[in-house]
Chains A and B, each alone.
Chain A
Amino acid sequence: MNTGPLLTTETKVWLRDPAAVFFALVFPALLLVGLGLVIPDFRNPMEDPGLPWDSAPNVTVWLPTMLALAVATISLTTMPVQFATFREKGVLRRLATTPMPPRNLIGAHLVINVVALLVAASAAVVGGMTILDVPFAVNPLVVLLCFVLATTAMFSLGLLVAARADRASAASGIGMLIYFPSLLFSGVWVPIPVMPEWMAQIAKYTPIGAASQGMLAGWFGDDFPLTQVLVMAAWTAVLFPLGVKLFRWT
């Protein structure tokens, strides 16, 4: 079965939703650069003798958080609503009557969302480095590993939300209910280095908190974030099969 035309058409249609495109693609980069430019202290150099770079602005600690935010935004606000909409509008049922299996539509949208996520993450990194002079990661491979695991864990969570929510509005509501605590644990409101110890401990065992902490460790060249990596892998191993098993097609 050639899924090419389906993927192309779905991408075109996806790009027609201005709100989804804004939040999925632009929001993390805009938040990073916008706040970096507005709050003067964000661009002041960090005063920490143990830094791997000669100079780095304060906003550097925020970049890994923005990458986690990009993952959370797409997986919890964009994707579940799309999938629930397909079910609610009968798109999945309609496809079931054709030779194209409905799971291919879900597959096409996973691809679209992963690409969107890569665009959003790249925009945040490039924006931070060019506009705010954020230095590049010390261990890019560790950042990449954590980013990939964050994606699998959070997409699985999003799939689980989409699996059971019978309406788009319900998917949106449940997604938001998880999204806002996720922002807290990822360090959007309280940067990770100044997060109270008890909060950091809780965050470490959430998929998004582990993602943020792991990518921060990679960016600053700290010890390998083994616990965080295992936490994300474990969430994926539990949530993904659950999401697939519980997914309702009609």
Chain B
Amino acid sequence: MAVTRSVAESATESAPGTSVVDVRNLRKTYPVKGGPEKVAVADVSFQVQRGEIFGILGPNGAGKTTTVECLAGLRRTDGGTVRLLGRDPQADPASVREDVGVQLQEAALHDRITVGEALDVFASFYERRADPAELMELLDLTEHRKVQFGKLSGGQKQRLSIALALVGKPQVAILDELTTGLDPAARRATWDLVERVRDSGVTILLVTHFMDEAERLCDRLVVIDRGTVVAQGTPTELTDSLGGDRGVRLRFADDAGRGRALDLLTALATRDDDVTGVTPAGGEIEVTGTRKVLFAVVRELAAADVVPDDVRTVTHTLEDVFVHVTGREYRADDDADDNENEEAA
């Protein structure tokens, strides 16, 4: 388990107190009537540095939301320590309210309040305030200023929710399942927005069950499964940790070409150490090997003038990392655990 070992190493990298967020051995359980208590978070540790987009990735029910709720002082922990900006939100939840903006999973406003009113009234809660008009501009909400919350689309609600998390000029923003329910265009727009917010100096803690979102946005991340951290690092570190295996997929116009290529490459695999495996996959051929596998394949086929229609390199994704460290398929709705939101009691 190379990945989990690197977790332990990077956890000790930063001295306590230098991180914006410092979570150590967090544990949170919920009582269950007539049964053993339910462990929502068993053992989670991570540190976030200023200016990072830090991801907390895992299937639903993994304990992600509970973790950030403990961090924000919205829930009592059962063990471990949490520090936010050097303060202890468990001992004094009010001490972090001014500096932390939270975007919760579900819509949380009165249906009849307008966009402009919501921003103005939330701004009034804070000593330092962002300009609501500027935020509306940034989040593409200006034209919806007078629209009531209940009449907004899912994407507009989500953007308002982000605006409300930023209206107090926070140093840290916790964004929970930011793009759930958004269409692909709105998701990409939201990702761009998160990067712009980070560029303005806000440290971002991004809770998500979307692998692609974490891979695209996060500087570093932890992968949480069943209440424990199973992997930690930058997206590249995590995918590279799976080993040197590279893959190339080839597609051919006809069976004749494919048959010739298969023969050539199978022969190549017996004499070239950079090529370790050749397997027909559907109508294609998959070749695996070292970093040089692509060169070897191209050289061999070019010499014989066998021209594939399409060549794709197969890279590891965070999904592969999850499968590797848990031994299970990644499914957003993991039935190993109930949805973590229902425990709100």
Contacts and interface: CB of A to CB of B under 8 A. Distances in A.
Contacts of B168: 98-99
A16 B120 contact: no
B344 interface: yes
A13 B116 CA distance: 12
Contacts of B125: 1, 6, 98-100
B110 interface: yes
Interface string B76-118: 0000000000000000001001101110101111111100010
Interface stretch (A89-97, A137-145, A212-220): A89-97
Contact of B104 (A9, A13, A90, A100): A90
B124 A2 contact: yes
Contacts of B109: 89, 91, 94
Nearest to A12: B117
Q: Contact size class for B? A: 20 to 34
Given A6-B121, A93-B104, A250-B344, A13 B110 contact: yes
Contacts of B141: none
A17 B107 CA distance: 20
A9 B120 contact: yes
A33 B329 CA distance: 70
B74 interface: yes
B108 A9 contact: no
A93 B74 contact: yes
Nearest to B167: A98
A97 B102 contact: yes
A86 B107 CA distance: 11
Contacts, number: 67
Contact of A90 (B107, B126, B345): B107
A91 B110 CA distance: 7
Contacts of A91: 108-110
A9 B124 CA distance: 11
Given A89-B108, A94-B104, A98-B168, A13 B126 contact: no
A9 B117 contact: yes
Contacts of B126: 98-99
Given A13-B112, A97-B97, A98-B126, A5 B121 contact: yes
Given A9-B117, A13-B112, A98 B94 contact: no
Interface in B110-167: 110-113, 117, 120-122, 124-127, 148, 164
A98 B107 contact: no
B293 interface: no
Contacts of B100: 97
B207 interface: no
A51 B74 CA distance: 61
Nearest to A9: B121
A96 B122 CA distance: 12
Given A2-B124, A5-B124, A99-B125, A94 B108 contact: yes
A174 B108 CA distance: 24
Contact of A98 (B112, B122, B344, B345): B122
B18 to A, nearest CB: 25
A74 to B, nearest CB: 18
B141 to A, nearest CB: 17
A17 B112 contact: yes
Interface in A1-43: 1-2, 4-6, 9, 12-13, 16-17
Contacts of B345: 250
A4 B125 CA distance: 10
Contacts of B94: 99
B72 interface: yes
Given A96-B74, A99-B126, A100-B125, A13 B117 contact: yes
5 contacts: A1-B125, A85-B110, A89-B111, A94-B102, A97-B74
Given A5-B124, A86-B110, 18 more contacts: A2-B124, A5-B120, A6-B121, A9-B117, A13-B113, A89-B109, A90-B104, A90-B108, A94-B108, A96-B74, A97-B72, A97-B74, A97-B100, A98-B125, A99-B97, A99-B168, A250-B344, A250-B345
Q: Which 4 A-B pairs have the closest CB atoms?
A: A94-B108, A90-B108, A5-B124, A97-B102
